[in-house]
Chain A
Amino acid sequence: MNTDHAAAPSTSARSVDVQTLDPRAARLRRGALVVVAQITLLGALLALWELATHGNKEATFLFGSPSTIGEFLAKMALDGSLWRDSYVTGLETVLGFVVGNCIGTLIGLSFWYSRFVSAVVQPFIIALGSIPTIALAPIVIIWFGTDLTSKIAMSTLSVVVVAIVTSYKGALGVDPDQINLMRTLGARKFQIFRKLVIPASLTDIFAGLKMTVGFALVGAIIGEFMSSSEGLGHAIFKAGSLYIIPKVFAALVATIALALILTYVVGKVEGWLMPWRSND
């Protein structure tokens, strides 16, 4: 950060020992160590599971085993059902996630505009938020039918209240001194909203987004449980009804993979939308 460093003659830069600790390399090494530890832990758990169920038909039937789950995953991948189900559930989740967060964030941020409206509406939001989404499933099926729309609606409902609350919290958290500064610079309310409140709320909004990836997925799967002909929730429900437990686990693995991919994407978008935070 010091300008003197930039002006330092190149000879002194060259004389710096190559062995000097590079903080970036140290961080990379620590990151690699974490990944290795995680893989080892996962491997150990799977090995334990495999050992405990190996050669025991009853145990394999009840608890599945990594190898049988792997067989089912391979079979589902080959007949295409793995990809089709993942695609359907992924689509429902993404659409519900996007719709729910857009509506929720819009409502939450707009509360900043009027303390009165937000005070009036607050208890209703909390009441809505306390309803378990699963309790709404039968009504959603009646309203939106048994196809894709009802799953998207379930996913949206699982997300929307959290999005309202997190974005409103973000908007309320804006430093009043910062608002005063904007006012002394002559900013109108809309300018304060656009140039200060929205970007300042992004941190909270993204915390909400990361949280709601899982909620959106749960909503979609609950929707599929209620009535569906495809999707990972459908696969889990059907395999469970037929007592094919390794297949239930295989579909669960796909569900987990889907959640991880979506969370990763949200994290990437966050880094892309908030480049200033990568410097911290």
Chain B
Amino acid sequence: MNGSKTATTMAKPAAASLLSAWKLSKSYFAGGKVTQVIGDLSLTLEPGEIVSIVGPSGCGKTTLLNVLCGLLIPDGGEVRWRGVRLAGQPPDVGYMLQKDLLLPWRTALTNAMLGLEIRNTPRAAAESRARAMLDQLGLAGFADYYPSTLSGGMRQRVALARTLVNDPAVLLLDEPFAALDFQTKLLIESDTAKLVRNAGRAVLLITHDIEEAVSLADRVIVLTARPTRVKAIYEIALGEDRTDMIAAREHPRFADYVRRIWSDLEVARS
């Protein structure tokens, strides 16, 4: 049985990790006072691994994600991508939020092509790759639809296509399925798991949904309240096939993980 280890026993991450954060700290200056959001946080992400991060609301998960992909610069500590200290934006990261952030003036297809277009991929190649990705996500007939005519689940699928079509080694997901209804969420989670695991991509998933965290991830990192640090880490073992979200949720150990993480969060909140 995999147990939790406390953060303090963690060794400095090996330089070879796909993504590693070491002793990160970050503060904000707002309303005339400095608030420390991240305090001494370390974590690693290995190739092909799915890691979920859960924490009490307002604990700075989104700030952490933005630091990891170079959108914010940490006050202390360092972020390394493949052992190299991060400067600017990492080249092969996919970033996806709860908001789909689709451009309303672009169709599903041209939205999915956005990243390729920015990287000056020839148009024909970009179009066929984006089309193929939309097909894989079940949006074959909707390539020429504007986002305003698509449902929430479909819009989030287009956002996922836009992320995956760039062939990122790491996906940073910030509550990407939180706004979806339960059924849509399970389906899109399963599709994401399939596409990510089959391609050997690594995922860092921020979520407040413990069941989502456990069912998707190989590892769940529980954060403390602000200034946030790692409270506990759970290795999740729910069988061989981790692409079926229903099966994962029906696994005998599932409820146990959820309950233990839940009680960790309860303690963190107080």
Q: A6-B141, A185-B166, A186-B118 are in contact. Are A1 and B151 (CB under 8 A)?
A: yes
Distance of B93 from chain A, by nearest CB (Å)? 6
A40 CB-CB contact with B under 8 Å = no
A147 CB-CB contact with B under 8 Å = no
Q: Which one of A177, A186, A280 contacts B119 once the chains associate, using CB atoms below 8 Å?
A: A186
Across the interface, do B148 and A280 meet the contact criterion of CB distance under 8 Å?
yes
Distance of B203 from chain A, by nearest CB (Å)? 15
Across the interface, do B101 and A175 meet the contact criterion of CB distance under 8 Å?
yes
**Central interface residue in A1, A181, A183, A277, by most chain B CB within 10 Å:** A181
Q: How far is the CA of A183 from the CA of B94 in the complex (A)?
A: 11
Q: How far is the CA of A186 from the CA of B114 in the complex (A)?
A: 10
Q: How far is the CA of A280 from the CA of B149 in the complex (A)?
A: 8
Across the interface, do A184 and B105 meet the contact criterion of CB distance under 8 Å?
no
The 8 A CB mask of B61-77 against A (1 = contact, 0 = none) is 00000100101000000
For residues 146 through 197 of chain A, which have their beta carbon under 8 Å from a beta carbon of chain B? 175, 177-178, 180-187, 191, 195-196
Q: How far is the CA of A262 from the CA of B97 in the complex (A)?
A: 42
Across the interface, do A276 and B114 meet the contact criterion of CB distance under 8 Å?
no
Across the interface, do B115 and A279 meet the contact criterion of CB distance under 8 Å?
no
Distance of A171 from chain B, by nearest CB (Å)? 15
Q: How far is the CA of A182 from the CA of B147 in the complex (A)?
A: 18
Nearest B residue (CB) for A181: B101
Across the interface, do A195 and B95 meet the contact criterion of CB distance under 8 Å?
no
Across the interface, do A180 and B114 meet the contact criterion of CB distance under 8 Å?
no
Q: How far is the CA of A177 from the CA of B150 in the complex (A)?
A: 21
Residues in chain A near residue B101, CB distance under 8 A: 175, 177-178, 181
Residues in chain B near residue A181, CB distance under 8 A: 95, 97, 101
Distance of A273 from chain B, by nearest CB (Å)? 9
B31 CB-CB contact with A under 8 Å = no
Distance of A190 from chain B, by nearest CB (Å)? 11
Interface residues on B, range: 20 to 34
The 8 A CB mask of A50-66 against B (1 = contact, 0 = none) is 00000000000000000
Q: How far is the CA of A186 from the CA of B88 in the complex (A)?
A: 10
A-B contact count (CB 8 A): 63
Q: A185-B115, A196-B103, A199-B105 are in contact. Are A180 and B66 (CB under 8 A)?
A: yes
The 8 A CB mask of B84-127 against A (1 = contact, 0 = none) is 00000101011101010101111000000011011100000000
Distance of A23 from chain B, by nearest CB (Å)? 15
Nearest B residue (CB) for A184: B95
Across the interface, do A195 and B141 meet the contact criterion of CB distance under 8 Å?
no
Across the interface, do A279 and B149 meet the contact criterion of CB distance under 8 Å?
yes
Residues in chain B near residue A175, CB distance under 8 A: 99, 101
Distance of A87 from chain B, by nearest CB (Å)? 36
Across the interface, do B146 and A276 meet the contact criterion of CB distance under 8 Å?
yes
Nearest A residue (CB) for B90: A184
A33 CB-CB contact with B under 8 Å = no
Distance of A219 from chain B, by nearest CB (Å)? 31
Q: A186-B91, A274-B105 are in contact. Are A177 and B99 (CB under 8 A)?
A: yes
A15 CB-CB contact with B under 8 Å = no
Q: How far is the CA of A279 from the CA of B145 in the complex (A)?
A: 10
- Can you give 15 A-B contacts (C-beta < 8 A)? A1-B149, A175-B101, A177-B99, A178-B103, A180-B66, A181-B95, A181-B97, A182-B118, A184-B71, A185-B118, A185-B166, A186-B91, A276-B104, A277-B104, A280-B148
CB within 8 Å of B: which residues of A? Answer: 1, 3, 6, 175, 177-178, 180-187, 191, 195-196, 199-200, 202, 274, 276-277, 279-280
The 3 closest A-B pairs by CB, nearest first: A184-B95, A185-B115, A276-B146
Starting from the known contacts A181-B101, A184-B93, A186-B115, 11 additional A-B residue pairs (CB-CB under 8 Å) come to A1-B154, A175-B99, A175-B101, A181-B97, A183-B71, A185-B115, A187-B118, A276-B104, A277-B104, A279-B149, A280-B148
